Amino acid sequence: MNAVVPSAPDGPVEPERLPADRVDALFSKLSSFSNLALAVSGGSDSLCLLVLFDEWRKRTGWQGAAEVLCVDHQLRPESGHEAEFVATNARACGLACTVLRWTGTKPAANLQEAARVARYRLMAARMRDIGAEALVLGHHLDDQAETFLDRLTRGSGVTGLSGMAADEGCGPEGLRLLRPLLSVSKSDLEATLEERGRSWCTDPSNRNPKYKRSRLRAILSLLAEEGLSAERLAQTAANIRRAREALERTADGLVARLITEHPAGPARLEREAYREQPEELRLRLLVYLMARVSGKNSRPRLARLQALDGVLMSGEAKRQTFQGSVFDADASVIRVWKEPGREPPGILTGLAGTGTWDGRYLYRVSTCPVGESDAPLCLGPLMNAPVASREIDWPAGWPKAAFDCAPVLWREGENLTPASAAAVLTIGNSCSSADLNLERMPIQGKLPDNFMDNEDTDEEI
């Protein structure tokens, strides 16, 4: 009996660019999730993500839920067709797809940045609706190299130059971002689609020299000719990321050891302990203090932050405002609190249930006892509360001004008793007919690098 012999190929067989075992290794971290969202635009990168994810989940038997999210920015006539292309491919994989449309007037300036912000905002809203734990993105090795170059031109610090993380715990809109293809080149992704006979959409803006990333792509090809390849740039970013993580861990330790926070808002640290730290760590401490007392994550210019550091390093006693915070330094202590004048905390009236106040506190109000006053409950800053300063038992070691933005509970039309006002300043306060529990919220979003300089935005692409 003659054996069946496959016919020999006409030419050499190219090895598969992304064999199954490598894909399984790249996607292995996804197996710990039960509900994921995939960002797919229809370009080669994200379409390859969709195809490989579908093959991986079927090959490994992953039982989680997944939904494809496609944002139609409505900036080009063909964007609607591209969104339908994505939906068709998602359905072919047996996955649900939601098209999110960016409606309304588009800005004339910084359009790409505005589109990026809108994209993450729309996806975050949908992910909350479906309970998705993380957003899977198709960013690849070339994207990482472009990001490094872009941030290098902006004068980024250690955080910016560390590039994108394969697992970003707190990205835009607080999303957890997963990038399983970050070590894979764009050419390998396109070859993978070609091996499967798949087509993809091409965005002409990716080649438009009007946009910085398009120009950086051209520069990358020139650098590669000199030996500075995308792989080397990505490795440099990885090396810097290790240094960044070490700095962040050291800074976290200093925060825990040196900074004392009053539950009602202000914070302080010993001036000499501050002066003993290297400049990089001092600047990080200042960024932490501002974010903690103000409830906002702002990015000061390096020159201004260094000027503040210079004052605190001197022996000068001074009080000054900076980025929504008040820095009050005497010979021995640096005290910091929320600046009341720039963006004062609002007053919440009709308080009930749970919620957040001023980006700094989570509140829980218990049900009022039957027969007690039914006047609406109010939560607001001490400076606007119906209580006289002379009636308050002020905490020792703090200026009175440090508590202008402290949270206070009262009933509309009623004055606070001195006891209730004092209790607010130590947290665990009460207001005759209702109990209020206040809890300091963690800093919202990741703390960026210690400064913003030369238009550095540290953006996620």
Average pLDDT over residues 31-46: 96
The reply, when asked if residue 46 is annotated as ligand binding, is yes
| pLDDT > 90: percent of the chain | 56
> Which residues on neighbouring strands pair with residue 38, listed in sequence order?
68, 136
Give the per-residue pLDDT at 447: 61
Question: From residue 87, how far is each of 101, 248, 299 by CA, in Å?
Answer: 13, 41, 38
Residues of the chain with CATH 3.30.465: 259-338
Query: Does 96 score more than 50 pLDDT?
Result: yes
Neighbouring residues of 377: CB distance < 8 A, sequence distance ≥ 6: 349, 350, 351, 352, 365, 409, 410, 411, 412, 431, 434, 436
Give the per-residue pLDDT at 82: 94
Predicted TM-score (pTM) of this structure = 0.75
Average pLDDT over residues 27-36: 97
The reply, when asked if residue 42 is annotated as ligand binding, is yes
> Which residues on neighbouring strands pair with residue 362, listed in sequence order?
356, 439
The reply, when asked if residue 346 is annotated as ligand binding, is no
Query: Does 455 score more than 80 pLDDT?
Result: no
- How many C-beta atoms lie closer than 10 Å to residue 113's C-beta? 12
Query: Does 6 score more than 90 pLDDT?
Result: no
Structure tokens at 459: 């953006």
Residues 289-315 pLDDT 10s: 999 999 988 778 888 999 999 999 998
* Side chain identity at residue 401, one-letter code: A
Average pLDDT over residues 182-190: 95
- How many C-beta atoms lie closer than 10 Å to residue 107's C-beta? 9
**Of 145-154, 276-285, 319-328, minimum mean pLDDT range:** 145-154
Q: In CATH, what number does 20-239 get?
A: 3.40.50.620
Q: In CATH, what number does 259-338 get?
A: 3.30.465
Query: Does 93 score more than 90 pLDDT?
Result: yes
Element (H, E) at 98: strand 96-101
The reply, when asked if residue 45 is annotated as ligand binding, is yes
The reply, when asked if residue 143 is annotated as ligand binding, is no
Average pLDDT over residues 160-182: 90
Residues 351-374 pLDDT 10s: 888 999 998 998 888 755 444 556
Considering 133-142, 144-153, 169-178, 369-378, the range whose residues carry the highest mean pLDDT is 133-142
Query: Does 343 score more than 90 pLDDT?
Result: no
Residues of the chain with CATH 3.40.50.620: 20-239
Q: Band of the pLDDT at 333, cuts 50, 70, 90?
A: very high
User: 412-451: string of b/e by CB count within 10 Å (b at 16+)?
Assistant: eeeebeeebbbbbbebebebeebebebebeebeeebbbbb
Considering 36-40, 374-378, 447-451, the range whose residues carry the highest mean pLDDT is 36-40
